[in-house]
């Protein structure tokens, strides 16, 4: 028998506030693809990814986004930081390029180069102590929980690690200790935490669930990278999975690692050339400064080239080899039985993605609400 109270919510991502750029390129953020009001009526909830540990720089920006979503009647789910933006000055314009009229674009030119350093509550052994990663403290997260509570947020996602980079025993203990503090704060504010897969073993999730009763935010693209059986895992944990993140991804953790390695390499080159350019100005060598300036702008171009992401967060119907249809049909059955699901489209916002999802979730006999 169909349950008339069953419901599904489709959402998109907002993660381009801190640094005004998106950690992925092309951007998957609503704000980089039109205003929030423009998308009103086309989705039900927003995954607000707070890439500003401790809300030290952009508290008011995040407050305004929460307020705007509330005003528009859009539910918000908050994701705790998984990146810590590091800003670098941009080079002056190359005089030769300035002579050519710039092509008009609706996107504002960035004021800084932004490097998104991966940040988590615990770091696995291979990157512990690495300058390329940031360790989050509970003090970086509790202000975010408290701000979310002000606007009635009742679900917060906690990323655990990078795809395929499973926490070792020491990292698990560190994570659990920090998570206990966050869970206490969350529950005091009427919020349930949902840990996200990605470096999260089944054994460790069982331990966290037993200790804290946390949910599982299941990212199917990450699961594919980690060679999980997505359909079987969903069926096994469906009662704990209220939030699913849907996107296509080309298989192979090596692709994921290659992009990050290329970003780090191009950033180091950028910083080196920036220092050379500044030194040339101090030395007063005009001819050498002009050469350095060209190299400086080339290094910026190389960084943005490495920034491009061609392997993940593609549209649900694009390129990747994931067949999402069996999963969507299983979700439809769960909805008919009265389960509530939040389906987060972790892709460039496009109504074709929503159409694809609903084409398999809707049926003539379904009586639930959407």
- Residue 65's domain spans which residues? 7-87+112-250+312-361
Q: How far apart are CA 261 and CA 276, in angstroms?
A: 23
Confidence of residue 301 (pLDDT cuts 50, 70, 90): very high
Return the structure tokens found at 255: 């692709």
Domain assignment present for residue 288? The answer is no
Distances (CA, A) of 161 to 131, 158, 175: 16, 10, 10
- The per-residue pLDDT for 334 is 93
If one counts the domains in the chain, the total is 1
| Mean pLDDT, rounded, for 84-107 | 69
Residue % of the chain over a pLDDT of 90: 74
What is the 3-class SS of 205-232, one letter each residue? HHHHHHHHCCEEEEEHHHHHHCCCCHHH
Domain assignment present for residue 55? The answer is yes
Least confident of 165-179, 209-223, 308-322: 308-322
Q: How far apart are CA 361 and CA 331, in angstroms?
A: 7
Whether the full predicted model's pTM is greater than 0.75, yes or no, is yes
322 φ, ψ (degrees, to nearest 5): -80, 130
Domain assignment present for residue 356? The answer is yes
| Mean pLDDT, rounded, for 345-350 | 92
CATH of the domain at 214: 3.20.20.150
- The per-residue pLDDT for 5 is 47
> Quick check: 273 pLDDT over 50?
yes
- What count of Cα atoms within 13 Å lies in the side-chain half-sphere of residue 361? 24
Q: How far apart are CA 329 and CA 317, in angstroms?
A: 16
Q: How far apart are CA 317 and CA 280, in angstroms?
A: 50
Confidence of residue 230 (pLDDT cuts 50, 70, 90): very high
- The per-residue pLDDT for 362 is 75
Q: Which residue has the tokens 């073993």?
A: 201
Instruction: With CA atoms as reference, report the closest residue to 65 among 57, 74, 87.
Output: 74
Domain assignment present for residue 92? The answer is no
Higher model confidence: residue 111 or residue 63? 63
Return the structure tokens found at 265: 């390499």
> Quick check: 223 pLDDT over 70?
yes
State the pairing for strand pair 192-196/83-89: unpaired
Domain assignment present for residue 50? The answer is yes
């Amino acid at each position: 028998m169909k349950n008339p109270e069953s419901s599904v919510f489709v959402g998109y991502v907002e993660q381009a506030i801190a640094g005004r750029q998106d950690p992925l390129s092309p951007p998957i953020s609503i704000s980089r693809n039109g205003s929030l009001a423009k998308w009103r009526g086309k989705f039900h909830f927003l995954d607000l990814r707070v890439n500003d540990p401790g809300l030290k720089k952009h508290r008011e920006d995040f407050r305004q986004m929460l307020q705007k979503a509330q005003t528009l009647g859009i539910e918000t789910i908050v994701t705790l930081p998984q990146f810590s933006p590091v800003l670098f000055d941009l080079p002056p314009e190359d005089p030769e390029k300035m002579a050519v009229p710039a092509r008009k674009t609706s996107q504002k030119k960035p004021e800084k180069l932004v490097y998104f350093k991966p940040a988590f509550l615990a770091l696995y052994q291979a990157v512990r102590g690495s300058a390329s990663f940031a360790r989050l403290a509970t003090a970086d997260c509790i202000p975010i929980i408290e701000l979310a509570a002000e606007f009635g947020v009742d679900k917060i996602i906690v990323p655990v690690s990078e795809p395929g980079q499973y926490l070792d025993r020491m990292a698990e203990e560190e994570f659990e200790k920090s998570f206990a503090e966050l869970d206490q704060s969350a529950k005091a504010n009427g919020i349930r935490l949902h840990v996200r897969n990605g470096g999260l073993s089944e054994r460790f999730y069982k331990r966290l669930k037993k200790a804290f009763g946390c949910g599982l935010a299941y990212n199917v693209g990450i699961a594919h990278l980690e060679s999980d059986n997505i359909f079987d895992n969903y069926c096994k944990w469906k009662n704990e999975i209220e939030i699913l993140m849907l996107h296509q991804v080309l298989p192979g953790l090596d692709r994921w690692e290659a992009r990050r390695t290329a970003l780090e390499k191009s950033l180091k080159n950028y910083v080196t050339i920036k220092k050379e350019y500044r030194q040339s100005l101090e030395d007063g060598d005009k001819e050498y400064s002009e050469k350095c300036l060209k190299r400086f702008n080339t290094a910026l171009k190389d960084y943005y080239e490495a920034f491009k992401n061609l392997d993940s967060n593609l549209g649900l119907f694009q390129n990747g080899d994931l067949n999402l249809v069996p999963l969507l049909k299983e979700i439809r059955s769960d909805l008919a039985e009265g389960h509530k699901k939040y389906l987060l489209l972790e892709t460039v916002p496009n109504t074709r993605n929503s159409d694809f999802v609903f084409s398999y979730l809707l049926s003539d006999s379904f009586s639930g609400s959407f």
